[in-house]
């Protein structure tokens, strides 16, 4: 189902990296949506006249490898689980399309905004640069020496930019999650992330509304930890687990229950 729908991205007009400086949105508001891959074809059709698709070296679906860092006690995960106003994720991400690799700090502020900083590194195995860690103790009480590499998440991403340039959208597909000897594949799942400078009218959010797909604040990292690690607390993620189970069985038809 995904392969057939993804063929439709070649009908979109392309946008290239050197044209996207105004739509990087490192300081933004995020809105995430989760749905079954069977809805992807109709969603792409509805988007076609309003968005361009990112193309890098002739490729429109990019493969990402992401290694997340946390403490042995999963302090960063628990900050998300406990819904702390200020929280962050720390990772190294490899972009296969251009072979670039960055250490990234993604901070969620209690104002609802998301900030992202990134620093070039050589590979996933490289230690985190010192610049990455500046300010994390004040934000989440984690010291440099406490951080360990943990969950590895692989996925394919399609990136869109609205023709008016005010929004950016990513669709993440073919998720594979691994930590130690545990792994999980989520081939039926699509995670969409709408990135706006401010909360405003969006073509994509209107498409989601028409399909009765409501926003859901899901984190791939927290989803992976809560699915793979049986020792962590996961009470606050049980609704997304139940929702995921229904999506995998396609019994929910992609809509989120009220």
pLDDT tens-digit map of 40-54: 999 999 999 999 999
pLDDT at 124: 94
Instruction: Kindly report the pTM of this predicted structure.
Output: 0.89
Q: State residue 101's pLDDT score.
A: 96
Rounded to whole angstroms, the Cα distance separating 221 from 218 reads: 9
Res. 25 pLDDT band, cuts 50 70 90: low
Q: Domain 2-248 classified CATH 2.40.320.10?
A: yes
| Residue 23: per-residue pLDDT | 45
- Is a pLDDT exceeding 90 seen at residue 208? yes
Alpha-carbon distances, residue 226 vs 53, 74, 87, 135, 243 (angstroms): 32, 11, 17, 26, 14
Each residue's pLDDT tens digit, 118-143:
899 999 998 888 877 776 666 666 77
Domain positions in the chain are 2-248
Distance CA 43, CA 186 (A): 19
Q: Tell me whether residue 104 is exposed, middle or buried, using C-beta atoms within 10 angstroms of its C-beta: 0 to 12, 13 to 18, 19 or more.
A: middle
Is it the case that residue 207 has pLDDT exceeding 80? yes
What's the average model confidence in pLDDT over 205-223? Answer: 91
Interatomic CA distance for residues 159 and 61, integer angstroms: 8
Task: Give pLDDT, residue 16.
Answer: 92
Please report the pLDDT score of residue 257 as a whole number. 42
Mean pLDDT of the chain: 86
> What is the pLDDT, as a whole number, of residue 226?
95
- CA–CA gap between residue 36 and residue 68 (Å, rounded): 25
Which residue in 240, 251, 238 sits closest to 191, CA to CA? 240
Tokens, residue 122 = 């050589």
Task: Name the pLDDT band for 5 (thresholds 50, 70, 90).
Answer: low
Query: Is beta strand 51-54 parallel, antiparallel or unpaired with respect to 13-15?
Result: parallel
């Amino acid at each position: 189902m995904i392969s057939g729908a993804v063929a439709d991205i070649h009908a979109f007009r392309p946008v290239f990296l050197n044209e996207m400086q105004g739509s990087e949105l490192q300081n933004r508001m995020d809105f995430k949506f989760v749905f079954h891959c069977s809805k992807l074809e109709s969603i792409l059709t509805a988007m076609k006249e309003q968005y361009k698709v990112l193309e890098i070296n002739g490729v429109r679906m990019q493969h990402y490898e992401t290694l997340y860092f946390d403490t042995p006690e999963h302090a960063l995960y628990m900050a998300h689980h406990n819904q702390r106003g200020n929280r962050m994720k720390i990772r190294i991400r490899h972009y296969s399309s251009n072979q670039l690799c960055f250490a990234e700090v993604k901070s969620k502020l209690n104002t609802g905004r998301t900030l992202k900083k990134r620093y070039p590194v050589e590979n996933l195995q490289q230690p985190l640069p010192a610049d990455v860690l500046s300010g994390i103790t004040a934000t989440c009480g984690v010291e440099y020496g406490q951080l360990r590499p943990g969950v590895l998440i692989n996925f394919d991403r399609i990136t869109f930019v609205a023709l008016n340039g005010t929004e950016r959208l990513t669709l993440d597909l073919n998720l594979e999650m691994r930590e130690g000897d545990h792994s999980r594949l989520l081939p039926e799942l699509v995670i969409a992330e709408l990135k706006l400078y401010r909360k405003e009218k969006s073509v994509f959010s209107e498409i989601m509304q028409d399909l009765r797909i409501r926003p859901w604040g899901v984190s791939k990292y927290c989803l992976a930890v809560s699915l793979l690690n049986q020792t962590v607390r996961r009470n606050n993620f049980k609704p997304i687990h139940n929702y995921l189970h229904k999506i995998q069985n396609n019994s929910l038809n992609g809509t989120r229950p009220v």
